[in-house]
Structure 1
Amino acid sequence: MRISCALFFFIVLVSANGLRFLRRRSQNKTLQIQTQNGIVQGIEERSGYGRTFYSFMGIPFARPPIGNLRFRAPEPPNPWRGILDATQEASCCMGLVPEYVNAFNLSSDGSEDCLYLNIYTPKNQNIETFNPLPVYVFIYGGGFMIGCSNRVLYGPEHFMERDVILVTMNYRLGILGFMSTEDLECPGNWGIKDQLASLKWVNENIKNFGGDNRKITLGGHSAGAASANILLLSPRASGLFQGIIMQSGTILCPWSNQTKSREIAFRTGLALGIETQNSKELVSELRKVDVKELTTRMIPVLLLELMVMIKGGFPFTPVVEPNHKDAVITNDSYDEMKKGNFPKMPVLAGVTEFEFGLFQGTVQVFYPYLVTLLNVTPGFAVKNIKSVADRYIVGKKIQRYFTHKDSYELSNMRDLLEYLGEDFFNYPVQKTLSFISRKSPVYFYVFSYEGPSSQKALAELIKLKERKIKGACHSEEIYYLFNGSVSSNSDKRDAMDTQVSRNMINIWSNFITYGNPSTPELENISWPTVTDDYFPYVRIGYNLKLIHESYNKKNYEFWENIYKTFSN
């Protein structure tokens, strides 16, 4: 009997799709949890603050999207026998961007077999308690092209200081996650459908980990925030979460959607030697292409799109789908937001003080090209305005507003970075919250802390010796919310960094637990909510400061006037 058991575990160990199983001598029943698909065994860990927690990593929430499942909606995972080893992280999903525009220094390494999630829960929570803990499901960012749920960026230890369960998941990226032919052969949004599948899995299983499936907050950063916004709008996600956190991104950000996905899909096919204008043939042939070749040979397409990204957005992003049973987006997101076609729930959202500062290394590479282009054709980057003449007028208005001159100057990159930060982040985020505030309580924050360790880490990530243009930039708050080793050479956090982390975790955990982010650090002052055109906010730094003046008022009114006057 023992021989047959050992043989069974050996066969399972080497034959399962990317799954690892524990041999009997490595099993520990106190760390085992029964899921609907099988038993998982986690690991006990201790945070830097001394609190013990359980980690369950690399749990499959869908079948591997390989072979014939490439460019298809995720399918439920196959059940397993034996004890699944959930003590190690699974592979990241494959994504790719050229090195010099790669803000997180990630490569194309990864696997197509990547649909796994991680669950972290405080040890002092009785798994079988009748008082389950609130749950935070977090979606990473990365422009829908790069990213991973691993602990290099998203370590759980800060959250484990609070009575909150943290869930992170992988989702398909780039061409594998977002290619669309704009028809039923390949409607797209595979990455969003992966996120939806993980949410369903969490709802069905989190109770066994001590979590409350009636108290789930969905959140994300950048592309992850835009994804959460999409799921807020999608009827298919209705009832799966009860609160939402959006950090530096929404579906109205111009980089979060693509209107020329069919054109891009066929251009990708041509780069791979597939000469056809037939969707079925294109998709069939692309399913046969080796995954490494598929992701690397799309570099020319990616570069072409990045050159005009300032106008057209990233090449592989969410799209409006034709109606079908798996569709997550079938209507224009702006219209849906304006009409209030989403469930009522509390919202915590915000931006950093100088969003586009993260991309100064990338902008620096293209800066002479961008300055010349925008000076010669001011309307090039103008969106949502069809008339060429109107785009020119608006482009000149934008130019004069941000430079106080008639042209952008090579000697002053900050003007362009401020404009791009407004266009790509601040205004669309505020406009989204304006719509949501008509129906739901919206709490707004601005992250303004510039710690020396995060400044150094992010400078390394964007391949600069130092960030010459200062200001808390896009992604900087991630360094304090999570404790991932963003840069292996970064300095250790000092007391001020630790205080900022505590401020953030207090805000996030209060919102996740109570639906209201107010903390004792605000001296029992109630955090006011956003209204249609009024954005009071809390400035997050070493101290928390409540600001009653509407955030970014002058700039917001500038954009409102532009679009009311010229928008189609």
Structure 2
Amino acid sequence: MDRVEVSISDGKLSGIVQKGVYGNRFVAFRGIPYAKPPIGELRFKDPVPPKPWSGTRDASKYGNVAVQMDFIKQEIIGDEDCLYLNVFTNDINPSKKRAVMVSIHAGGFYMGSGNASFYGPDYIVQKDVVLVTLNYRLGVLGFLNLYDKVATGNQGLKDLIMALTWVQKNISKFGGDSENVTIFGESAGGALTHYLTLSPLSEGLFHKAISQSASVTCPWAFTEPGPSSTNKGFLLAKILGKATEDPKIAYEFLKTIDARKLIETERKNLLTEAERRQILFTCSPTLDHESPNPVFPVDLETLIHRGVKVPYLIGFNSSEGTFNLKSELFGHPKITKEDLSKINADFKMAVLPRVVATLPKIPITLSELRFYYFGDKAISEETLLEYADFLSDEFAIRGIMQTADIQMNNDNSEKTYLYQFSYESPTSLLRNIINNDLPGVSHGEELCYLFYPEIIKELGLSLPASDSEDYKMMKCLTQMWTDFAKTGNPTPSITDLTPIKWTPLKHGGNVFDYLNIDSKPQMKTFRKGEERWDWENARKKL
């Protein structure tokens, strides 16, 4: 095994040269600590810089993943000591410093890692960039907010800021350009990416951003402050045997509980069956005004409307909601015939509480909203596609298009690129994992064309053949994403791989220009007030 050594600010690292799945070679440095283990007194606290080491640290293996429920085995895995990142490049000493891409993994703020199970570097690293993948604290360990200085929330977000600080300090040692860093992620990773573009704490730590299938304005991406009776931290303490409304008592108690027990109790007991069926999450980013160093120093609405000030690429898949209907493997029950019958009898069961609260402002009633998607038809197996459309709009598209609209009306509109990913393939990895037989491209499917998911070995699935349409899409998507990272433009030149010019949003217009990403990509437009997800104009169409 060939070894490569680098010296960074904390000590020496020994990485390995590896052969990629398509034969290309790259250098991998894995399991690099970017913060001290967040254990003991550091649990629920902001991350602190890592301790330097003496000698040479083996960087051939991934570090621990964050404590979480394994979605396939349905058992608790991982370790509280989880703040590690990985660096990949195909040339450690390039003649010119390379663009850096920092991947923020998906998983609803409660699962996932930067490891190769889903985020193998083999595809992206071929495109002459330095790729960084990482872990951050998940669930209650990453997002506990007791609205008191003992636990102020957003620990997982601050982990990401610490990782980006590490990148600024050290990435040049791997041939990376600290002045050209792109952050990107899908789902919760896309929302976290958007959060980082809004927070003053992360200003200057990156220069471009990509949010896939999510933004801060999606209704699941943020937890509003509420009474202690509904605060997940106090509820967790109560379930584990300490009923209190005193944040200091709850904090001291939760600090004593084994990390795996905390996460297991959170996953099994903090959501009602109805909340599970609505794909709600127990913990997510919150306002952290009690922190001396808040991620959000002012209210979120103000930050959102300031817009993203760096070049920004954002979009969604053609049928996001089919994932919600089929995603039982990810810890949420599959929608059954009986569920559909209950939702048919009471449509409110299908609508997120945060969305219900906003309907009067739109204005539209629940019954009008139901009629808008289903007409006079019953909600049943015969109307699953209509239901998937509703879920797509509720969970993803409305929020994403709200963000695109804000971008179109701020000074950075002409550096914002919008897409819809419509490439439908029967051999899509995620389609096969969740046994999705519905048409359209579900939430998460595009990830398999950006990253090599090692999980395909366990599932007995095969790699896209080099003459297949899937392989061509992998080459196309990695080209556009890495070109954007290098230049701020996803199609700087017209080539066989990128045969069309992707134009950005136009400032203040009535149409959203977007790239429809398919076997034959095309520029298209969404018209304000005329699209399905535009509930503000739904009454006109009823």
Scaled by the length of structure 1, the TM-score of the pair is: 0.85
Residues 439 and 389 (structure 1 numbering): CA distance in 2 closer, same or farther, change over 3 Å?
Answer: closer
1:335 matched to 2:308: no
* Cα displacement (A) at 1:374: 6.0
Does the 8 Å CA contact 2:480/2:498 hold for their aligned counterparts? no
Find the residue that maps to 2:391 and give its secondary structure.
helix
Q: 2:535 aligns with which of 525, 542, 559?
A: 559
Partner Cα distance (1:404, 1:423) in 2: 17
Q: Structure 2 vs 1, CA of residues 352 and 386 (structure 1 numbering), >3 Å: closer, same or farther?
A: closer
For the pair 1:470 / 2:442, whether they are aligned, the reply is: no
Q: Who is 1:58 aligned against?
A: 31
Among residues 72, 84, 94, which one is paired with 1:116 in the alignment? 84
1:64-83 residue CA offsets vs partner (Å, 9 max, x unmatched): 01111110010100000010
1-structure distance, mates of 2:418, 2:2: 46
Aligned to 2:397: 426
Match of 1:203, SS?
helix
Distance 1:536 1:105, change over 3 A: farther
Question: Equivalents in 2 of 1:213, 1:94: separation in Å?
Answer: 30
Work out the CA distance in 2 between the residues paired with 1:371 and 1:230.
37
| Structure 1 residue 163, shift from structure 2 partner | 1.5
Please report how far the alpha carbon of residue 423 of structure 1 lies from its aligned counterpart in structure 2 after TM superposition. Answer: 0.7
Residue 536 of structure 1 contacts residue 551 of structure 1 at CA under 8 Å; is this kept in 2?
A: no
Q: Is 2:521 the counterpart of 1:544?
A: yes
Match of 1:126 in 2: 93
1:178/1:189 contact within 8 Å kept: yes
Contact kept in structure 1, 2:232 and 2:270, CA below 8 Å: no
Contact 2:500 2:521 in 1 (8 A): no
Letter in 2 for 1:283: Y
Q: Percent identity?
A: 29
Alignment partner of 2:249 out of 281, 303, 312: 281
Q: What is the SS of the residue equivalent to 2:151?
A: coil
3-state SS in 1 of match to 2:86 = strand
In the alignment, which residue of structure 2 is the partner of 1:439? 411
In the other structure, the counterpart of 1:529 is 505
Distance in 1 separating the partners of 2:298 and 2:269: 27
Tell whether 2:208 aligns with 1:243: yes
Write the deviation string for residues 83-108 of structure 1: whole angstroms up to 9, x where unpaired. Answer: 010011111111237xxxx4x76752
| Equivalent position to 1:268, from 209, 226, 236 | 236
SS in structure 1 at match of 2:69: coil
SS of 1:321's equivalent? coil
Write out per-residue CA displacement over residues 243-301 of structure 1, whole angstroms, 9 at most, x where no aligned residue.
00011111111111112575211111111111211100111111111112112122343
- Tell me the matched-pair count: 520
CA distance in 1, matches of 2:13, 2:395: 42
Question: In the alignment, which of 363, 372, 392 is matched to residue 342 of structure 2?
Answer: 372
Distance in 2, matches of 1:389 and 1:517, equals 39
1:403 aligned residue: 374
Kept in 2: contact 1:443–1:529 (CA 8 A): yes
Report SS of the residue matched to 2:125. Answer: helix
Q: Cα distance, 1:178 vs. partner?
A: 1.0
The change in CA–CA distance for 1:235 and 1:167 in structure 2 (over 3 A counts) is same
User: AA paired with 1:308?
Assistant: E
How far apart are residue 377 of structure 1 and its match?
A: 5.5
> What is the letter of the counterpart of residue 525 of structure 1?
K
Counterparts of residues 134-533 of structure 1 (less than 5 Å): 134-259=99-224, 262=228, 263-304=231-272, 307-308=274-275, 313-340=280-307, 342=308, 344-361=309-326, 362=328, 364-365=334-335, 368-369=338-339, 371-373=341-343, 375-376=345-346, 378=348, 381=352, 383=354, 386=357, 393-405=364-376, 407-437=378-408, 438-440=410-412, 441-454=415-428, 457-462=429-434, 466-487=435-456, 488=458, 489-494=460-465, 495-518=468-491, 519-520=494-495, 521-523=497-499, 525-529=501-505, 531-532=507-508, 533=510
Per-residue CA shift, 1:322-353, capped at 9, x if unaligned? 1433311243333322244x5x2111111111
Which whole-Å CA distance do the structure 2 matches of 1:388 and 1:161 have between them? 47
Distance change (3 Å), C-alpha of 1:480 and 1:410:
closer
Match of 1:7 in 2: none
AA of the residue aligned to 1:439:
D
What amino acid does structure 1 have at the position aligned with 2:518? G
Q: For 1:486 and 1:552, how far apart are their aligned partners in 2?
A: 42
> How far apart are residue 43 of structure 1 and its match?
0.5
3-state SS in 2 of match to 1:199 = helix
CA distance in 2 between counterparts of 1:50 and 1:300 reads 43
> What amino acid sits opposite 1:218 in the alignment?
I
Deviation digits for residues 443-470 of structure 1, max 9, x if unmatched? 111111222321xx324533xxx32312
SS of match in other structure, 1:308: helix
Which one-letter code corresponds to 1:121 in the other structure?
A: T
Mapped partners of 2:53, 2:236: distance in 1: 37
- Write 1 or 2 for the structure with the bigger share of strand: 2
Q: What's the secondary structure of 1:536's corresponding residue? A: strand
| Deviates most, 488-497 or 75-84 | 488-497
**Rounded Cα–Cα distance in structure 2 between residues aligned with 1:376 and 1:426:** 24
> CA offset at residue 390 of structure 1?
7.7
Change (3 A) 1:302 1:411: farther
Closer/same/farther in 2, CA of residues 392 and 206 from structure 1, 3 Å limit: closer
CA contact (8 A) 2:340 2:381 kept: no
Indicate if the aligned counterparts of 1:503 and 1:540 stay in contact, CA closer than 8 A: no
Structure 1 regions of 5+ residues with no counterpart?
1-25
AA aligned to 2:221 is: S
Residues 483-503 of structure 1: CA distance to partner in whole angstroms, max 9, x if unpaired?
Answer: 122333223313111100011
CA displacement at 1:236 relative to structure 2: 0.5
Q: Which amino acid aligns with 1:62?
A: A
Cα distance, 1:107–1:332 mapped onto 2, change above 3 Å: farther
CA distance in 2, matches of 1:371, 1:337: 38
| Counterpart-to-counterpart distance in 2, 1:367 and 1:235 | 47
SS of residue in 2 equivalent to 1:492: coil
- 1:307 Cα deviation from its structure 2 partner: 2.1
Cα distance between partner residues in 2 of 1:85 and 1:366: 48
Query: Would the alpha carbon gap of residues 414 and 382 (structure 1) be closer, same or farther in structure 2, given more than 3 Å must change?
Result: farther
Go from structure 1 to structure 2 and tell me whether the alpha carbon gap of 1:449 and 1:107 turns closer, same or farther (over 3 Å shift). Answer: farther
Partner of 1:14: none
Q: CA 1:423 to 1:377, structure 2 compared with 1: closer, same or farther past 3 Å?
A: closer
Tell me the distance in 2 between the aligned counterparts of 1:347 and 1:392. Answer: 31
Change (3 A) 1:354 1:551: farther
Letter in 1 for 2:422: S
Structure 2: how far apart are the matches of 1:69 and 1:251? 27
2:48 to 69, 72, 75: 75
